[in-house]
Structure 1
Amino acid sequence: MAGPDPPQQQQVEEKAEPIDDAELAFQGINMLLNNGFKESDELFRRYRTQSPLMSFGASFVSFLNAMMTFEEEKMQMASDDLRTTEKLCESDNAGVIETIRNKIKKSMDSQRSGVEVVDRLQRQIIVADCQVYLAVLCFVKQELSAYIKGGWILRKAWKMFNKCYSDISQLQEACLRQSSEPEGPLASDQANHNASPTDCGGRVTEEVLDRLKGSVSFGYGLFHLCISMVPPHLLKIVNLLGFPGDRHQGLASLAYASESKDMKAPLATLALLWYHTVVQPFFALDGSDSHAGLLEAKAILQKKAMVYPNSSLFIFFRGRVQRLECQINSALASFQDALEFASDQREIQHVCLYEIGWCSMIEMSFEDAYRSFERLKNESRWSQCYYAYLTGVCQGASGDLEGANAVFRDVQKLFKRKNNQIEQFAMKRAERLKKITLTRELCILGVVEVLYLWKALPNCSSSKLQLMNQVLQGLDDQSSLGLKHLLLGAIQKCLGNIKDGIQSFQMAAQDEYGRLNNSYVQPYSYYELGCVLLAKPETLSKGRSLLLQAKENYTGYDFENRLHVRIHSALASIKEVVPH
């Protein structure tokens, strides 16, 4: 995280102090993951101007804070810190962006050592990593212009990763060849005669190259996962089709990085947990199975339990696994534990509170839910508008309609980001609920709706799903008829009542009256119908047709990009089962 520059005298003293920045950076990241946020931040800030690796560590702490809160202020701070790290890496006279091949050629001079080769490779990897993080900061805004900007940044990063990955691999091969060649004067003369830009010379060791390979594999893997999250139709806009996101390659690279001795090994572990417990179920990246990847996540958590026994982040991900396994009470206990261990870290406290709110909605414990969201509304600076809407629907669902109405009136005042689709959705819903006679049932409809849109209905128990079904069946609001049938269909699908689910989805797809209030209902209904029909070979063709209909016949509705990612994943699953 950015901080004031230390006094000049202190800088001179620290420059005279030799440091093993690779080892120091690894220690700093481990501090971070064992709840030593303050100590980690101080360590990285102390050396951030003296080592590109330590500067990167400081910027990563800033980036992590931004990603946990999504607050505009922290996202801007992270962006500034990442660009500062980039400048430090490029401060060398020759410029780190110059091709690695030319730089390694220079290292053949007897005056230069392999250490310089490693330093320049390390700098290039860090610059590429910074580019990926800057792209992620763009993507989380979920805006068209941000997607395009993030896409161009990723394109630059991709070229740098490819170059570094290739050069490091060639250096590793050269080292392997040299270690297997016979020793002696003749062999030495032959090696010098055959020297190439990627010869393993000077003081470049296999151990150092393995660490660099782990370092580049982290960004390379994260890059692939980022690309796989971008809506396919936007990939065409930013001309990224030449760089397709391969999720399997991304996961393999992150797994390699997580076992390396690089400072980013623990971060690669966190990235894998984030993917398996947050991204994969949310975007339905393996069809409709929200449990895909849970075995991998559980194995990672078990393996790292001794290293990070009380880490609030690892306990948080344990709670995510438990939530996805529908062990809601256990998940709540884990999030409460993580909340306590993160007593000095407001950002982690907020993500824990958010999950506690969601688990409470899943359990239909509406009073507990609205108290969590109310605290977030008052404390968080990310999206008070969104938290206010969640507070209102949960408060109304608990029976406090007067309190809910008061909160809905606040939503308009807290609406700040006009291009943010989540805030747009929250404001439109709050405005509508203010204009009609509010009932507890309508608020429960609002809760079930967000559970559906955020892919949380599969986490609900059968008894809670039956209770939701009962409430919605008794709802008689014509303007919400299509939404009601969409949600009923999703509930029936979760309960395994496929025939009833199909019937409800069909009724939702035919609803024209409520289209103005709920513009996303029809395309989402066709998507749901398509996914159900994909499950049987005899209806696979019809299912594919409905998915394409949802993709091509509708535009300008709420959460359009989100649905496009899910449709793309569903269509890709057909190609894996029935290759063309």
Structure 2
Amino acid sequence: FLKINLVLNLRHLCSCVSLFFFLNRTKDSMYHALTYATILEMQAMMTFDAQDMLNAGNTMKEAQATCQKFRKKSTVADSFNNLVHRQNLEHFTEEEIHAEICYAECLLQRAALTFLQDENMVSFIKGGIKVRNSYQTYRLLMILLIAFGVWKGHIRHPGVERKENTNSNYCSAYLCFFPQTLSMFPTRILRLLEFVGFSGSKAIVSYSFSSFALFYSTNLGTGKGNVEEAERLLKPYLARYPKGAIFLFFAGRIETIKGNIDTAVSRFEECCEAQQHWKQFHHMCYWELMWCFTYKRQWKMAYFYADLLSKENNWSKVTYIYMKAAYLSMFGRDDHRPFGDNEVELFRTVPSLKLKIAGKSLPTEKFAIRKSRRYLSSNPVPLPVPALEMMYIWNGYAVIGKCPDLTEGMLQTLTEAEAALERSPATELLADDQCLLKLLKGLCLKHLGKISEAEDYFTYIHLNERKIKYDHYLIPNALLELAVLYMDHGRREEGVKLLERAKQNYKNYSMETRTHFRIQAALHQAKSVSENGVHSGTSAVS
């Protein structure tokens, strides 16, 4: 998803032209070369096909060579350092500045492919060096642009006047992304990154995020992207290309984050209708539509999109089949099961579909496989609300929290599931299921402003942690949610202590890295509030 930003910043290119058009220009245009390579990389990352990855890597390498032809004929560091000291922007043409940006993007995307293709340490170091070199280029560009007043519209050089803030916006977006992302990595990963010259410092830049914040922040961080900035960036492109699939997709994502689910559904459907050549792009829309209908508790429609993904997309058959089973389990007793599917049988097939990417299993797949094991016995213990549990993993409660009607409806479903659990025979998994329902109910209550009740639900979980048999991930996540609740209501020190406890005292649980991302994001928020001396009234880590 990060790669789509490139298209938003290349004013030279239309969003809906054939790949053949790009291919014809890849040897003499850095924009066409990079965009063509980006499209192939996006395809590789959605198919995870080895040949697609190889093609994308080779094409990106060729794009880097094309960008090199337009760069200033000297080392980047020397050129920029000299320019900063001399304060003479005229040494760089506008084209050379663009070439530096495109070259840095090539490095970043080649690094991503390196990480995916091979998991050995040599590849990790090579990829890390590419990322570091890319970051250094963006940092030096930003220094240069700020030094000469380009930032925030103070343009003094005729060569960049026509482009307004395109260069500075693009550089600032990446400079935001690097330190923010690195600061959220688990300690063991940071040690490896420091080996190639990175630091996990949460320092420096606090400029506007670009559209990638719509995915990064909402799924892994504090639950809030900078929607206003994303809308501002998107508006002129959507006006110019109202049928541009990429722009319609981003528009749908913005509406989702704002809680305008019906409008989001319309945007994603428009996106699917806008082009028929690249089916993988439809799959991105199907994924979003699946969650939109989950938020609306329209289980049959959510099932429909999970089924489409399971049949057409290769990213994670485990996740798609698990979600199909999860939605079927949410059907009423008398509801018709499409295609004759049965949730128990689907859950039982999940472990056999496990996929490894770059030698590693996807965390979401590990989670789904572990949850599905309940159904392997002759007398399975049903999962209480598997679709709503996975919704938490993907930060969906931050979305419905903006819409009281959706939150009230979800709370009702959870209350009904709690009553059904009480009526069922007790099993060894009773405490796990009770704590899960209390976590999810606590989130709904928090967003509905019932703070005392939400606090009681979160507190219940960590007070009963010894009773939990398998779902140990609930404990640090309950501490996380309680900490955020405290910080949202002026109890910053208590919140920070709980975050540190969640971070330090719990290891080797499901989706640990994702939880660590959220903990680090909350700690970063707490630090920002402390430094600014103001209280942030809203947060959505959940």
TM range (shorter): 0.7 to 0.9
- Structure 2 Cα separation of the partners of residues 223 and 78 of structure 1: 25
**1:344 partner SS:** coil
Distance 1:459 1:249, change over 3 A: closer
Superposed CA offset, 1:179-227 (max 9, x none): 99xxxxxxxxxxxxxxxxxxxxxxxx83268759845752553243144
1:79 aligned partner, one-letter code: G
- Structure 2 Cα separation of the partners of residues 552 and 410 of structure 1: 36
Identity %: 20
Q: Which residue of 2 aligns with 1:81?
A: 59
Aligned positions of 1:418-567 closer than 5 A: 418-435=360-377, 437=379, 442-443=382-383, 445-460=385-400, 461-474=406-419, 475-476=421-422, 478-479=428-429, 480-481=432-433, 482-512=435-465, 515-537=468-490, 539-567=491-519
- What is the RMSD computed on CA atoms of the aligned residues? 3.8
- Structure 2 Cα separation of the partners of residues 555 and 91 of structure 1: 49
How many angstroms does 1:368 deviate by? 1.3
How many angstroms does 1:148 deviate by? 6.8
- Structure 1 Cα separation of the partners of residues 101 and 510 of structure 2: 38
- Structure 1 Cα separation of the partners of residues 71 and 524 of structure 2: 47
2:370 aligned partner, one-letter code: K
How many angstroms does 1:377 deviate by? 0.8
Q: Does the CA-based 8 Å contact 1:135-1:150 persist in structure 2?
A: yes
Q: Does the CA-based 8 Å contact 1:103-1:117 persist in structure 2?
A: no
How many angstroms does 1:71 deviate by? 6.0
- Structure 1 Cα separation of the partners of residues 446 and 311 of structure 2: 37
Q: Which residue of 2 aligns with 1:154?
A: 131
Is the aligned partner of 1:55 residue 2:10? no
**2:259 partner SS:** coil
Q: Which residue of 2 aligns with 1:268?
A: none
Q: Which residue of 1 aligns with 2:193?
A: 238
Superposed CA offset, 1:340-391 (max 9, x none): 1132221221111111111111122112111211111111011111111111
Q: Which residue of 1 aligns with 2:22?
A: 44
Superposed CA offset, 1:69-128 (max 9, x none): 6666545543332223224445799986575539999xxxxxxxx999776655444332
Q: Does the CA-based 8 Å contact 2:44-2:52 persist in structure 1?
A: yes
Q: Does the CA-based 8 Å contact 1:165-1:213 persist in structure 2?
A: no
2:361 aligned partner, one-letter code: N
Farther off after superposition, 449-458 or 315-324: 315-324
- Structure 1 Cα separation of the partners of residues 482 and 510 of structure 2: 19
Question: What are the ranges of 5 or more consecutive residues in structure 2 without an aligned counterpart?
Answer: 1-9, 84-89, 401-405, 534-542
- Structure 2 Cα separation of the partners of residues 207 and 381 of structure 1: 46
- Structure 1 Cα separation of the partners of residues 448 and 217 of structure 2: 21
Q: Does the CA-based 8 Å contact 1:374-1:388 persist in structure 2?
A: yes
- Structure 2 Cα separation of the partners of residues 278 and 88 of structure 1: 30
- Structure 1 Cα separation of the partners of residues 162 and 116 of structure 2: 32
- Structure 2 Cα separation of the partners of residues 427 and 468 of structure 1: 24
Is the aligned partner of 1:387 residue 2:315? no
Is the aligned partner of 1:575 residue 2:515? no
Is the aligned partner of 1:314 residue 2:247? yes
Aligned positions of 1:319-338 closer than 5 A: 319-338=252-271
2:495 aligned partner, one-letter code: G
Q: Does the CA-based 8 Å contact 1:392-1:404 persist in structure 2?
A: yes
Q: Which residue of 2 aligns with 1:130?
A: 106
**1:343 partner SS:** coil
**1:526 partner SS:** helix
Q: Does the CA-based 8 Å contact 1:527-1:547 persist in structure 2?
A: yes
How many angstroms does 1:559 deviate by? 1.8
Q: Which residue of 1 aligns with 2:211?
A: 273
Q: Which residue of 2 aligns with 1:19?
A: none
- Structure 2 Cα separation of the partners of residues 488 and 72 of structure 1: 42
Q: Which residue of 2 aligns with 1:202?
A: none
Is the aligned partner of 1:405 residue 2:344? yes
2:522 aligned partner, one-letter code: A
- Structure 1 Cα separation of the partners of residues 254 and 239 of structure 2: 18
Q: Does the CA-based 8 Å contact 1:44-1:57 persist in structure 2?
A: yes
Is the aligned partner of 1:283 residue 2:215? no
1:450 aligned partner, one-letter code: M
TM-score w.r.t. the length of structure 1 is 0.72
**Would you say how many aligned residue pairs link Structure 1 and Structure 2?**
485
1:131 aligned partner, one-letter code: L
Farther off after superposition, 362-371 or 91-100: 91-100
Q: Which residue of 2 aligns with 1:343?
A: 276
Larger Rg, first or second structure (1 or 2): 1
